[in-house]
Amino acid sequence: MHDLRKLVTSANLLYTFEAAARHESFTLAARELNVTPAAVSHAIRQFEDGIGLKLFDRQHKRVIVTPEGAKLFQNVSQALERILSTINDLKAETSRTPVRLYVSITVATHWLLPRLARIREALPLFDLRLYTSDKLLELPDDGMSIAITGGRGAWPGCHVWLFTKEIIYPVCSPKYLQANGPIRHLKDLRHHRLIHLDDMLHEGVTWRDWFDKFRAPQPKDRGTLVYNNYILVLQATLAAEGVALGWQHVVGDLVKQGDLVRPVKEQMSSGVDVYIVARKGRELSPAACELRDRLIQEGLTITG
């Protein structure tokens, strides 16, 4: 760089040369740079003298870039474009507002991730940071954190917005239904292998609740499968191991895609719906508000 500074005493000479070579006109370059044509001519002469190369042929009322000038122009132009691009990228990175979204592992896997590209495209200036956990909600009071979580809409010290109603229905794989079906009525389910989420570790609707809701006889024990994680419940269901309870905001896409089917039409709501939650201590940042609004919009489309 020290040698370059000896040859090019001012970066303005590069800007002037690039404009003059691009236009092949000192007059147009002067207009772009908001200087006089004489100033452009003087700067080009100073640049040529400094590097010891003739860059323009000066003819009557026009200038023509020499072969040496054309080669130098290509490199100078590309270098300036790279510098500008890098500056813009760095500015974009530093201007991105961080937003933290807390969500269960199951919702992140089966609802959020398939939509994440669409959400990022709609909110390109966000630095979205995703945190997954199936533990009880512990939301920071920082004005940039929101969560998707289930409950009855009462969290002391929190703002709450409805994300989607909790709709629950049985699901199984087409392969299971083909091998063990048909299942024509709700009462037929009691004769099938039911996949359970361990109610000692998780609150929420169980198969017992489901049969009680519809006043149906409780199921027979046909090699019950119990898992401590709903991801495992879904994987077992997809693997044709049995019939599970499906939460619409989680399994809706799998049903629409045909990976899972609803063997009976009955469905229920527990009253424990799914909400977007934020702490009241600090006002939500504009970016967090935009993400909240986008999630609410996406929640309106949940079906299955």
Q: What is the mean pLDDT of residues 155-176?
A: 92
Q: Residue 63 phi/psi, 5° resolution?
A: -130, 145
Note whether 99-163+278-299 and 167-269 share their fold: yes
pLDDT in the model for residue 186: 87
3-state class (DSSP) for residue 29: helix
Asked if pLDDT for residue 15 goes beyond 80, the answer is yes
3-state class (DSSP) for residue 108: helix
Q: What is the mean pLDDT of residues 109-116?
A: 91
* Higher-scoring residue by pLDDT: 137, 89: 89
Q: What is the mean pLDDT of residues 47-61?
A: 90
Whole-number average pLDDT of the chain: 88
Q: What is the mean pLDDT of residues 263-273?
A: 89
pLDDT in the model for residue 1: 61
Q: What is the mean pLDDT of residues 244-248?
A: 94
pLDDT in the model for residue 304: 62
Considering the domain 99-163+278-299, what is its CATH architecture?
Answer: 3-Layer(aba) Sandwich (3.40)
Asked if pLDDT for residue 256 goes beyond 80, the answer is yes
List, for residues 115-146, the tens digit of each pLDDT value.
988 888 888 767 888 888 766 567 888 888 99
**Per CATH, which fold does 2-94 belong to?**
Arc Repressor Mutant, subunit A (1.10.10)
d(CA 287, CA 120): 12
pLDDT in the model for residue 221: 67
Tokens of 257: 């895609």
pLDDT in the model for residue 292: 93
* Higher-scoring residue by pLDDT: 282, 67: 67
pLDDT in the model for residue 136: 59
Which of 92-101, 147-156, 271-280 has the highest average model confidence (pLDDT)? 271-280
Count the neighbouring beta carbons within 10 Å of the beta carbon of residue 123. Answer: 17
d(CA 110, CA 231): 9
Which alpha helices (DSSP H) does the chain contain, by range?
2-7, 11-23, 26-33, 37-51, 67-95, 105-107, 113-122, 174-180, 207-213, 230-238, 248-256, 286-299
Which residues face 269 on adjacent strands? 167
pLDDT in the model for residue 174: 96
d(CA 243, CA 251): 13
Which superfamily does CATH assign the domain made up of 167-269 to?
Periplasmic binding protein-like II (3.40.190.10)
The distance of Cα 174 from the centroid of its chain, to the nearest Å, equals 31
Angle value at C-alpha 271, between 119 and 242, nearest 5 degrees: 80
Q: What is the mean pLDDT of residues 102-106?
A: 90
- Residue 92: pLDDT band with limits 50, 70, 90: low
- The ranges assigned to domains in the chain are 2-94, 99-163+278-299, 167-269
d(CA 59, CA 13): 21
Q: What is the mean pLDDT of residues 227-243?
A: 93
